[in-house]
Amino acid sequence: MIQFILNDQLIQTDAPPGTALLDFIRKDQQLKGAKLVCKEGECGACSVMVGKLEKGTVFYQSMTSCITPLVNAHGKHIVSIEGFNMEELTPVQQAMVDSYGTQCGFCTPGFVVSLSGYLLSNKTLTKEGIIAAIDGNICRCTGYKSIERAAGLVLEKVKKDLPVVDIEGLVKSKFIPAYFMDISSRLKDLEQATPQNGNAIRLGGGTDLYVQKPVEMYESDHVAVYDNSAMNQIEIADGFCSFGAAVTMGDLYRSELFNQALPDSDYIFKLLSSTQIRNMATIGGNLVNASPIGDFTILLLALDSEITLEKNGNGRSVSLKEFYKGYKKMDMQEGEVLTKIKFKIPGAKNHFHFEKVSQRKYFDIASVNLAGNLTIEEDKITTAHMAVGGVGPVPMYLQKTCSFLEGKKLAEDTIDSAIEVLNNEITPISDARGSADYKRLLARQLFIAQFLEVNPGLFNLKKLIGQ
Ligand SMILES: Cc1cc2nc3c(=O)[nH]c(=O)nc-3n(C[C@H](O)[C@H](O)[C@H](O)COP(=O)(O)OP(=O)(O)OC[C@H]3O[C@@H](n4cnc5c(N)ncnc54)[C@H](O)[C@@H]3O)c2cc1C
Ligand code: FES
Ligand code: FES
């Protein structure tokens, strides 16, 4: 049985665990505030807050309920727009009215949930942060400026009324209803272990599965890994960073340890989907989905990562660069679960960089993405690990190009010759993300960008890009 708290109400249900959370909220519970629009995680109209008990307190994150499996709600507090409503408008709802932030109103519940959720999930509030919290919400009529003004009004009010932003303060100043005060003790009384439903499909956040096969997911057997506590840890030891496959992009974004391992990686996370999707998207799911343009896959390939696969208590390690065998084919046996990912933390002589080009700068999948981890000693490239996505049937570790680079001088001639090797190694095709020629050009430019990152003053950019 799946148990969770929906707004103020305890839910105990035998509904199929693969039901989309939004369908359960709208059809079974007849709460129609969260809207069904794209059903692909793209628009945010179905946003809910998901609260999870962590070290005795509830940590809230926004998610798109249209592609959230019901089983992933187990043991949690789910807040739809109805869960924020009180007799009078909340300051967030009032700010949307005062700044003319709503017209047809279809997107409005999602925006209000994301804005209110930002207050629930952050202690330090900033203008940049509150705007980033609505990066997964789309409005087709109002125009974002008025919604941004609403966000500004919310921030002003919080700063004026709340010396400390916590649940008690938010309740007192009527941002959230009083029942929020009891949620942590009510969650402690719930069964926390996630119910399982067979052993067919490994289910992470569902952000790929529910877009690719929403109907099958409804009734399918699965093993839910999203809340597997053994796969949710992030560690640093002996110069390596390792983390469980159920860790999400959002977990890594917030992790101080991951930030120590890859400092200044903020810019990377901002290029990955939206706040809601990052909170759901596991790294294991990104790797096993095996998309040739999976961003984290490309990043982890360039870090020469190692993964652990387990079945019936037996584990084996595989180098990520050996994992992909063909389009969506992996060195993975039936029933194996990807449990862990590990990489050596780049040192002072390493230069790690990730680049992504997509049709929209934010909230889009890549046309081509490329990451590199180059070790430079004096003026020599001593080791090279580079990976590129979108130019072949698999996320591609650039074996030949890297072998060519190793031991060579860091110079324009080396880069020119390496581009020839790169061009022979990649096999782009034309599709909705661009023509084969365009992708070849992107791969080349992103490759050059890796070297400019190492030392922009060393190269004649115009000569390198052939102008
Ligand atoms: C709106 C939207 C935007 C997106 N933007 C991006 C983006 O910018 N960049 C990007 O890279 N991706 C993006 N994605 C794709 C997706 O979010 C990621 O690939 C994500 O990491 C998948 O993780 P998940 O936990 O949701 O996987 P799921 O959908 O749960 O699973 C994906 C696959 O992995 C398998 N699986 C999951 N966990 C395990 C495990 N531990 N062991 C074995 N098999 C497992 C599943 O069986 C399934 O085959 C986007 C998706 C959406 C819907
Ligand atoms: S309906 Fe569009 S994100 Fe869920
Ligand atoms: S108000 Fe109509 S979509 Fe936003």
Q: Dihedrals φ, ψ of 455, to 5°?
A: -160, 90
The Å distance, Cα 20 to ligand 2 centre, comes to 11
- Please state the atom number of ligand 3 nearest to the C-alpha of residue 104: 2
Q: Which ligand is nearest to the CA of 38?
A: 2
**The tokens 């001639």 sit on which residue?**
413
| Lowest pLDDT segment from 152-156, 198-202, 265-269, 422-426 | 198-202
Q: What is the pLDDT of residues 104-150, one digit of tens each?
A: 999 999 999 999 999 998 888 999 999 999 999 999 998 899 999 99
- Please state the atom number of ligand 3 nearest to the C-alpha of residue 142: 1
- Please state the atom number of ligand 2 nearest to the C-alpha of residue 44: 3
- Domain ranges in the chain are 2-84+181-223, 91-176, 228-344, 350-464
The Å distance, Cα 205 to ligand 1 centre, comes to 7
The Å distance, Cα 66 to ligand 2 centre, comes to 6
Average pLDDT on 191-208 reads 82
Q: Which distant-in-sequence residues (6+ apart) come within 8 Å of 55 by Cβ?
A: none
- Please state the atom number of ligand 1 nearest to the C-alpha of residue 204: 30
Q: Which ligand is nearest to the CA of 36?
A: 2
- Please state the atom number of ligand 3 nearest to the C-alpha of residue 111: 4
Q: Which ligand is nearest to the CA of 146?
A: 3
Q: What is the pLDDT of residues 70-104, one digit of tens each?
A: 999 999 999 999 999 999 999 999 999 999 999 99
Question: Is residue 421 very low, low, confident or very high in pLDDT (cuts 50, 70, 90)?
Answer: very high
Question: In CATH, which superfamily holds the domain spanning 350-464?
Answer: CO dehydrogenase flavoprotein, C-terminal domain (3.30.390.50)
The Å distance, Cα 159 to ligand 1 centre, comes to 37
Q: Which ligand is nearest to the CA of 210?
A: 1
On whether the pTM is more than 0.85, the answer is yes
The pLDDT, as a whole number, for residue 359 is 87
CB 68 within 8 A of CB 206: yes
In whole angstroms, give the CA distance from residue 453 to residue 455. 6
In whole angstroms, give the CA distance from residue 330 to residue 290. 8
Reply yes or no on whether the pLDDT at 467 is more than 90.
no
Reply yes or no on whether the pLDDT at 238 is more than 80.
yes
The pLDDT, as a whole number, for residue 42 is 95
Cα distances from 163 to residues 125, 276, 323, in angstroms, run: 12, 27, 51
The pLDDT, as a whole number, for residue 269 is 95
Q: What is the pLDDT of residues 44-68, one digit of tens each?
A: 999 999 999 998 899 999 999 999 9
- Please state the atom number of ligand 1 nearest to the C-alpha of residue 225: 41
The pLDDT, as a whole number, for residue 198 is 67
Q: Dihedrals φ, ψ of 133, to 5°?
A: -65, -20
CATH 2.60.40.420 fits 91-176, yes or no: no
- Please state the atom number of ligand 3 nearest to the C-alpha of residue 139: 4
The pLDDT, as a whole number, for residue 455 is 82
- Please state the atom number of ligand 3 nearest to the C-alpha of residue 103: 1
Q: Which of 32, 46, 62, 139 to mutate to test the pocket of ligand 2 (most atoms within 8 A of CB)?
A: 46
CB 158 within 8 A of CB 86: no
The pLDDT > 70 percentage for the chain reads 99
Q: What is the pLDDT of residues 178-188, one digit of tens each?
A: 999 999 999 99
The pLDDT, as a whole number, for residue 360 is 82
Binding-site residues, ligand 2, Cβ < 6 A? 36-39, 41-46, 64, 66
Q: Which of 21, 24, 32, 38 to mutate to test the pocket of ligand 2 (most atoms within 8 A of CB)?
A: 38
Architecture of domain 228-344: 2-Layer Sandwich (3.30)
Q: Which ligand is nearest to the CA of 43?
A: 2
Q: What is the pLDDT of residues 359-417, one digit of tens each?
A: 887 878 899 999 999 999 999 999 999 999 999 999 999 999 999 999 999 999 999 99
CB 286 within 8 A of CB 369: no
Neighbours of 297 (CB within 10 A): 28
Q: What is the pLDDT of residues 299-312, one digit of tens each?
A: 999 999 999 999 98
The Å distance, Cα 168 to ligand 2 centre, comes to 31
Q: What is the pLDDT of residues 242-297, one digit of tens each?
A: 999 999 999 999 999 999 999 989 999 999 999 999 999 999 999 999 999 999 99
Q: Which distant-in-sequence residues (6+ apart) come within 8 Å of 242 by Cβ?
A: 234, 235, 236, 340, 341, 342, 343
- Please state the atom number of ligand 3 nearest to the C-alpha of residue 140: 3
Q: What is the pLDDT of residues 443-462, one digit of tens each?
A: 999 999 999 988 878 777 77
Q: Which of 165, 194, 130, 171 is nearest to 8 (CA)?
A: 171
Binding-site residues, ligand 1, Cβ < 6 A? 40-42, 201-209, 211, 225, 245, 272-273, 277, 280-282, 284-286, 288-289, 294-296, 337-338, 365
Q: Which of 202, 227, 300, 354 to mutate to test the pocket of ligand 1 (most atoms within 8 A of CB)?
A: 202
Output the average pLDDT for the chain. Answer: 94
Q: Per CATH, which fold does 2-84+181-223 belong to?
A: Ubiquitin-like (UB roll) (3.10.20)
The Å distance, Cα 120 to ligand 1 centre, comes to 26
The pLDDT, as a whole number, for residue 221 is 81
CA atoms within 13 A on the CB side of 168: 3
Binding-site residues, ligand 3, Cβ < 6 A? 102-108, 139-142
The Å distance, Cα 345 to ligand 2 centre, comes to 37
In whole angstroms, give the CA distance from residue 171 to residue 168. 5
